[in-house]
Amino acid sequence: MLNTTKLNTTAYHPACDGQVERFNNTLAEAISMFVNSEQTDWDLYIPSILFAYRVSPCVSTGDSPFYLLYGREPRLPPDVSLLPPTALSASVEEHRKRIVTQIETAQSLARSNIARAQQLLKLQYDKKAADAPFVIGQRVWVYTPKPKKGLSKKLRHCWHRPFRVCRQLSPIHYQLRTCDNCLVATNVHANRMKHFYDPADRPILPPSEDDPNNLSLQESEFPLDSFEPDDNSTTPVTPVDETPDSDEPSNSPAVTPSDSTLGEDVYAAERILKSRKRQGKLQYLVKWANYPVSQSTWEPEENLLDKRLLEEFHNNNK
């Protein structure tokens, strides 16, 4: 009888009631300016805050909600005490005609202003908007932030099931079924859905040793300078000069086999640079002959065959 159209919205999607949610934000911010520190008297300020909202001009319409409803501005306390009384019409018919004309004009302008504001908002939203990437039969997660009593909101699980898409009601609304083919009672907005990826569809298996695409290397296949020398090692590390000095020969030093080294390589030590203790044992930083200082290595005392270098080092560092 009143030509009222009922609109249905999807659950857990506040953007469907954008105007109501925006007003709730404005109302909550206004109440927070007057409520006490214990927040116990917030309901006392609601009538005054609502009246202040109704008499304030709106950016989208250009007029206040009070003027759009009654066709006139409200008489506030300052108007009554400071302004002179207005000349009222003696005819009820004339007063009614003037009020109806003002309401029709104000509401017509408000519709135009609202349409212009909505168009600007739509252009801004469409810059990042995209079509929903879901198809019939696809499995999806559904966002449902309803917490259970006694559980922490920060540790709750908000994405549930998965569900299966069975019908697309609009470009952004879907009808879902559970995996056991039970129909979901409510329609779901696309913003509350995301793709479900089954771990069984992408198994992770170790690479096969016979696979020609397996690029793993053995330790023996790495270059000699790929690993740092072990301080506890008793075997001299073969220094490799990648950038030899111009004054020093670039060829490797002569290798002299010895019975006491049991086949190990022996290199000529030029001098000892420093000393240190590691796990109670004395070690020396040895500068090798024909190699730069950057290739010096720490060696234990038993690896130094020339005892004169030890005597010279200790004499210089008494």
Q: For position 194, which CATH number holds?
A: 2.30.30.140
**pLDDT at residue 231 in the model:** 55
Q: What is the mean pLDDT of residues 15-30?
A: 87
Asked whether residue 85 is assigned to any structural domain, the reply reads no
Q: How far apart are CA 172 and CA 189, in angstroms?
A: 6
The least confident of 69-78, 92-101, 237-246 is 237-246
Instruction: Answer yes or no: do 149 and 119 share one domain.
Output: no
**pLDDT at residue 210 in the model:** 61
Instruction: Answer yes or no: do 110 and 152 share one domain.
Output: no
Instruction: Answer yes or no: do 102 and 144 share one domain.
Output: no
Q: Is the Cα torsion angle 137, 143, 146, 151 positive or negative in sign?
A: positive
Kindly state the percentage of the chain with pLDDT values over 70. Answer: 81
Bridge pairing between strands 281-288 and 173-178:
unpaired
**pLDDT at residue 52 in the model:** 92
What total number of domains does the chain contain?
3
**pLDDT at residue 179 in the model:** 85
> Going by C-beta distance under 8 Å and a sequence separation of 6 or more, which residues neighbour residue 12?
143, 144, 145, 146, 192
Q: How far apart are CA 2 and CA 95, in angstroms?
A: 26
Asked whether residue 19 is assigned to any structural domain, the reply reads yes
Asked whether residue 88 is assigned to any structural domain, the reply reads no
Instruction: Answer yes or no: do 99 and 151 share one domain.
Output: no
**pLDDT at residue 86 in the model:** 73
Instruction: Answer yes or no: do 34 and 119 share one domain.
Output: yes
pLDDT tens digits, one per residue of 107-133: 999 999 999 988 998 888 888 877 788
pLDDT tens digits, one per residue of 181-208: 888 888 898 888 999 988 777 766 665 6
Instruction: Answer yes or no: do 145 and 122 share one domain.
Output: no
**pLDDT at residue 290 in the model:** 86
Instruction: Answer yes or no: do 240 and 307 share one domain.
Output: yes
Instruction: Answer yes or no: do 279 and 191 share one domain.
Output: no
**pLDDT at residue 16 in the model:** 82
Average pLDDT of every residue of the chain: 80
Instruction: Answer yes or no: do 68 and 21 share one domain.
Output: yes
Is the pLDDT higher at 88 or at 213?
88
Domain boundary, last residue among 200, 215, 243: 200
Domain boundary, last residue among 200, 222, 252: 200
Asked whether residue 2 is assigned to any structural domain, the reply reads no
Instruction: Answer yes or no: do 270 and 168 share one domain.
Output: no
Q: How far apart are CA 196 and CA 202, in angstroms?
A: 12
Asked whether residue 222 is assigned to any structural domain, the reply reads no
Instruction: Answer yes or no: do 192 and 250 share one domain.
Output: no
Instruction: Answer yes or no: do 244 and 308 share one domain.
Output: yes
Residue range of the domain that includes 284? 232-316
Domain boundary, last residue among 200, 217, 247: 200
Asked whether residue 280 is assigned to any structural domain, the reply reads yes
